[in-house]
Amino acid sequence: MPDKLSVADVVMHPVRLRIIQQLGGRELTTAALREALPEVTPATLYRHVAALIEGGILTVVAERRVRGAVERTLALGERVAQVDREELQAMSEAQLRDSVLTVLGHVAEDFDRFLAAGSAELRDLFGVGQTMLYVNSEDLAQIQAGLAELLAPYRSEQPGRRRVTLTTALIPDPHTTAD
C-alpha cells in the first residue's frame, strides 16, 4: 500500500485523522492512543493504526513486551499526511467534497470536546476567524513557507505548553479574477 494509495485515500477517515492529530509532534504508545481516543474501540483503533503504518503515514519507533503482548510506540512517518498538488488535481469533485467534509467533521468533534470540557482556562486559548487574502501562486507559496517556519518551534510537545489545533483551509473565490 505505501505508494499505491494516495495520501488522501490513506488518511481521509475520521478515526485516522484523529490518530494523526494525536501523534503530531510526539510519540505515543498504542495504550496512550487508546486513552486519548476512548470512544474508538480497540479493534477499530488497531485496524486504522495498521492502515496508517502500511501507508507510511505512521512508523513504529519502539516495541516492548507488556504482559506477553508487544506494545508499540508510534510516531508520524516520513510520508507526509498531506495531499500534494498532483494528488489534489487527480481527485474528483466528490472526493474533494468528502475530504473537506471529513476535515470539517473532525473540527466539529474537536470543538464539541472543547465545549464538553467546560473549562474557562481553555477558552483563553480558543479562537475562530476568517480573512480574505488577494494572492497569486507565488504569494501563496511564500505565505505557506512563512507559516511553516513560524509554526515549526511549536509543533513538538514541550513541558508547560498545552496542545491546540490550528486548522486552515484555502478556498479560492471563483467570482474574482487575477488581473
Q: Is residue 173 included in any domain, yes or no?
A: no
What contacts 72, CB < 8 A, 6 or more positions away?
Answer: 29, 30, 60, 62, 63
CA geometry: angle 40, 107, 92, nearest 5 deg: 95
Q: Which three cell numbers stand for residue 85?
A: 498538488
Q: Is residue 160 included in any domain, yes or no?
A: no
Q: Into how many domains does the chain fold?
A: 1
Least-confidence region, from 5-14, 48-57, 117-126: 5-14
Q: Which three cell numbers stand for residue 146?
A: 512563512
pLDDT at 93: 84
Distance in angstroms (rounded) separating the CA atoms of residues 70 and 177: 57
pLDDT at 37: 93
Q: Is residue 54 included in any domain, yes or no?
A: yes
Question: For residue range 145-154, what is the model confidence (pLDDT) as tens digits?
Answer: 999 899 999 9
Q: Is residue 169 included in any domain, yes or no?
A: no
Q: Is residue 167 included in any domain, yes or no?
A: no
For residue 90, give the CATH number of its domain.
1.10.10.10
Q: Is residue 79 included in any domain, yes or no?
A: yes
Instruction: Name the DSSP class of 153.
Output: G
Does the pTM exceed 0.95?
A: no
Q: Is residue 165 included in any domain, yes or no?
A: no
**Domain that includes residue 87, residue range:** 7-154
Q: Is residue 142 included in any domain, yes or no?
A: yes
Q: What is the mean pLDDT of residues 113-128?
A: 87
